[in-house]
Structure 1
């Protein structure tokens, strides 16, 4: 638990319960994974100690797909993973720039994100990711309500809180990170329903920290828990808490950077009513964390929806709509990680269905895997030995790198 500021009393506690994993099965066996043909692989390139790259092609239902694969061996202590981001939750940049800024040897794009606000004219888009994120062991953001997400339909039994991450034990597994937080006031305690996210639950109160950046917070009160395009709420209130006391109040969410030792609370409907009762100078305690119930801290986590669990594709995966896709997965031990992006050139643009992606990840060696943002966001980059920076290895379907809010970075010492 980490204190955010000397008197703000903001706890940053990240907990995850690692799910039980089955023993390794027939990884690499097309018949076992349900595919009709094995991938055809190109030569292996050693990127760094414990990191390799290769291209491959595989037959899909709508044509041949070309893929790009980074394999990361976490048994090598010189290798690690972490979240790539541009320094603010609501900002974005090309994957190659994010990787070079952190000195990563490779990476792939991350979660789906709030790419536009055409449904809310005049509202500034935030470009924040859908799901939770942990960077360098610290809470970065929480998940928006399921009905506010961007991307393909969630498989049954999954939520926006699902993640793939690496724990302090250097093992990568699926998990689920739920926000747990409170706002303590002279009138009692309020449940915290949001953290650095572009959409708050109806009736909720959300917290925005300096990690949010300077983008407007208005989008957080737009839509509903079941309809992303619903109108923005007109019943809102904002409270700025500086070093544990109410410093300012406003009738609507604002914009601009959140200062150090400051948390901005935004409420809508019932949450707004509770915040209106606060007065300048009131003492406020804000505590939050992401938890699943077991005291194993995440060092890194990224959102995305599971497609493969314990070597078995999830029920209800779309087997009709093919697209360019990205994915991340790990073997049963959580030590061998696969990062994948498909090629977006014209001849390969049909891509794969999500069901085909799940089977492919199994063939490539994953026991557990998530689907990441796809289409024009699908990007995989690496730094060749001796090079000063990374190069993009796949061809993004838009012709150029898309600006993204986060990615998965691979770091190596040798």
Structure 2
């Protein structure tokens, strides 16, 4: 069976001039042209479609899946060039599939245009990949050039080959007001190593509130950014904190005043204060639990209980702690011990569970802690963060007071985050007080990604006054208008532990 590597492509992702996605586009024609550097296939549509692209394991067959298109006016044409071996067609269950079989050693780039609406595919040798990408941004003539004897010379070549003056003038910036107080922006530019494609959502905080949201509403758990956004009725969302494989949040996180996640490191965070203002800076968590006369430090909140540890489980963790029988758990309601269990305690909606193991368990046991004992949970994150009602801890810091300030070294980030180019996500606030979600694609033909410093420089370029880095790589995803705007590097959305969302006030 042929194995396909799937790449999801939103046709309108880079063309923000289109006011909305079209689900009933009509395919009118397919045209082809061969130039000195690449071959081009052009699909003419009545509206901009949404489509997916799948590449076979051997890299030879590219399948374009056009969803819900009307092909009644389309005439199937045979195409064979020195770079394209064949083009075939199939229609099944509301999908129209176009399979392009490329010659050996070829690579491809996909693009689209509006007014009129076109999707185009450039095929070029892999060694000329960068040149093909530049060409993929080149406008296509509105109509096929008629063949005449006179055009068999240089005129025909000029008509079929992209002209130097037709090639785009990088950088390309497209902006669109998608709702009152909500701006969508795509910025594409080229550096010495190729294309970089970035996506922005900028919101007026007077119209939209910002808060973290958990995957499926609980910890542990994982869900796509688009799934989290739809579940919370968000107008926009971006992936947020780092997370473990099971979805446990790895970062100091507070939602509507309740701590839902912690970390051992002092890391940069973004916060929302009670008056709606935004704050940035390093945050650390220090907690203690006092049962009767014994006080012990908190190892973490809503995380796996480790050896000799004391972990707090609150309602963000779900219905029960799910712990093993090698510890002891104190269920706290109204400031007193309500129950004592060996494991897997039900988490009260109006309280929390203190789960202890090893030396922590022994300390409470020796003191004779019992049902009815007064209990005090103290959480200290620093004066500013104690007042914050929303916190997303991720890091490192990228921008401070309008200047690049990358603090990856001070925050002890590992090399896979600290060094190299990658897909990146960030949250920031502009000089005018707007909150901004930003994602840069990476590890792909249309965008090679950025280092942390390059990412910070991009944010400063667009007027960001303060910003922190969020989880990146395959997790980077930016949602708005009912869909993911960028192209995640995994080929599809990765399930993450949390998202930062915008909700209309």
User: Do the structures match in fold with TM over 0.5?
Assistant: yes
**371-380 vs 270-279, which deviates more?**
270-279
**Against the structure 1 CA distance between its residues 320 and 280, is the aligned structure 2 distance closer, same or farther, given a 3 Å change threshold?**
closer
Contact 2:292 2:369 in 1 (8 A): no
Q: Deviations over 1:338-367 (max 9, x none)?
A: 211122573045311112112112112212
Structure 1 position 90 matched with structure 2 position 220: yes
Please say if 1:210 is aligned against 2:315: yes
Contact 1:111 1:372 in 2 (8 A): yes
Tell me which of 170, 176, 184 is aligned to 1:53: 184
Q: Does 2:438 correspond to 1:309?
A: no
Q: Residues 215 and 296 (structure 1 numbering): CA distance in 2 closer, same or farther, change over 3 Å?
A: closer
Query: What is the RMSD of the two structures over their aligned residues, measured on CA atoms?
Result: 3.0
Residues in 1 aligned to 2:484 and 2:478: alpha-carbon distance in whole angstroms: 6
Aligned equivalents of 1:320, 1:296: Cα separation in 2: 32
- 2:320 and 2:221 map into 1 onto residues whose CA distance is 8
Please tell me whether residue 329 in structure 1 is matched to residue 428 in structure 2.
yes
How far has the Cα of 1:67 moved from its partner? 1.0
CA deviations 1:50-106 (Å, max 9, x no partner) are 1101111234574322111111222xx222211122211212221112112222111
Contact 2:305/2:355, CA 8 A, preserved across alignment: no
> Aligned in 2, Cα 1:275/1:92: closer, same or farther, shift over 3 Å?
farther
SS at match of 1:89: coil
Aligned ranges 1:13-412 → 2 under 5 Å: 40-59=171-190, 62-74=193-205, 77-85=206-214, 86-115=216-245, 125=246, 127-135=247-255, 137-146=256-265, 159-160=266-267, 162-198=268-304, 203-214=308-319, 236-243=327-334, 244-250=336-342, 254-255=343-344, 258-277=347-366, 278-294=368-384, 297-305=387-395, 306-310=397-401, 311-314=403-406, 320-332=419-431, 335-344=433-442, 346-348=444-446, 350-383=448-481, 390-412=482-504
Cα distance in 1, alignment partners of residues 295 and 339 from structure 2: 19
Higher relative contact order (CA 8 A, sep 6+): 1
CA contact (8 A) 2:213 2:500 kept: yes
Could you tell me whether the CA contact under 8 Å between 1:41 and 1:54 is conserved in 2? no
Say if 1:163 and 1:175, in contact at 8 Å, map to a contact too: yes
**Structure 1 stretches of 5 or more lacking a match?**
1-37, 116-124, 147-158, 220-233, 384-389
**Structure-2 change in CA distance of 1:375 and 1:295 (3 Å):** closer
Query: Partner residue of 1:152?
Result: none
SS class of match (2:371):
coil
SS at match of 1:42: strand
Q: 1:61 to 1:82 in 2, by over 3 A?
A: farther
Distance 1:265 1:56, change over 3 A: same
Contact 2:176 2:183 in 1 (8 A): yes
- TM-score normalised by length of structure 1: 0.70
Deviations 1:301-354 (A, max 9, x none): 211111222223235667741111111111356x22221112257304531111
Decide whether the 8 Å contact of 1:113 with 1:405 is kept in 2. yes
Q: For residue 100 of structure 1, give the secondary structure of its aligned residue in structure 2.
A: helix
Cα distance per residue 1:192-220 (max 9 Å; x no partner): 342223466x754221112112576559x
- Structure 2 Cα separation of the partners of residues 54 and 66 of structure 1: 11
Offset at 1:382? 0.5
Shift of 1:291: 3.1
How many residue pairs match? The answer is 325
Distance 1:343 1:291 in 2: 33
SS in 1 for 2:474: helix
Do the aligned partners of 1:304 and 1:371 also contact (CA within 8 Å) in 2? yes
Partner SS for 1:47:
strand
Give 1:225's aligned residue: none
Task: Kindly state the Cα deviation for residue 381 of structure 1 after the two structures are TM-superposed.
Answer: 0.6
